[in-house]
Copies of this chain bind each other. A is one copy, B any other.
Amino acid sequence: MGSAPPQTTPQATTQGGTQAVDRAAALVDLVVRADDPVSFTTLSDLTGLARSTTSRLLAALERTDLVERDPSGGYVAGPLFALHAALHDPWPQVARIAQPVLLELAARTGETVHLGVARGQEVVHVGQIDSTYLLSARDWNQVDVPAHCSSLGKVLYAYGVLPLPTGRLERRTERTVTSREALAAELATIRRTRYAATVDELETGLTAIAAPVEGRDGVICAIGVSGPTARLSDRVDHVGRLLVEQSDALSALLGRPSRHVSAPDGTRPQSTTKEGAA
């Protein structure tokens, strides 16, 4: 079989003792990661496998529901992936994908790092890395906080992921933004700078900074850091830029179409509320 000594052996061949499975898995990997259906030839080329082998493997994978054929003939992720997606809440999955980025942020800032999504009218935290400091934000997973005094919430407001509040804006501290006009103005700024901050607005002495994360169809969630105002207040902008940089990396992982021309300002047509992932 592997009678191709020179060029046909692209990857590290000498793995455990499983060639067929490795090759089949490589095919599945390509298909799942691709944004669009992948053609037979593309798969054959990318993996460097003989056409006959590719055909046999794909047939096996299709038989076993790991891949499936698009009406147009291209290969897409199979029913087994659909089943998994239908059975499990997507947010923990997103949190898992985000883990490396969150860890990086925790390492670079030393503060507590969050991943927040919109659920109904509120922000919920679906991922968190704890600060190494003794003085730090508590575990906020599952804790709902008023979105207008959360940096994550402001980001989600700014990008239309969370419907704008209609009722009274609760005053949590003397610095809480309670006027709808002031909030709207701040949201515009957030869309420009691509990050949001709350300093002593939720709780005196607590500062948080957050940036949006995009999936295929726009902003889907937000990442942010929070910690004592004493440690964060004079590096809000620095941390903000760091967040933008990291959220960019995460967005790429989550299928955001590669930046077209680099929009001069991040304002987008304020799409209607989005649920689900991506």
Contacts and interface: CB of A to CB of B under 8 A. Distances in A.
A6 interface: no
B163 A86 contact: no
B80 A90 contact: no
Contact of A216 (B20, B22, B87): B87
Given A18-B56, A79-B96, A82-B97, A120 B163 contact: yes
Nearest to A57: B21
Nearest to A16: B59
A82 B56 CA distance: 27
Given A33-B83, A96-B82, A18 B57 contact: yes
A254 interface: yes
Given A82-B96, A84-B84, A275 B275 contact: yes
A29 B277 contact: no
Contacts of A255: 86-87
B85 A277 contact: yes
Interface of A: 15-18, 20-22, 24-26, 28-29, 32-33, 56-57, 59-61, 63-66, 77, 79-91, 93-94, 96-97, 119-120, 163, 215-216, 254-255, 273, 275-278
16 contacts: A16-B63, A18-B57, A21-B21, A21-B57, A21-B64, A24-B24, A81-B93, A83-B93, A85-B90, A86-B90, A86-B255, A87-B254, A88-B277, A90-B276, A91-B276, A120-B275
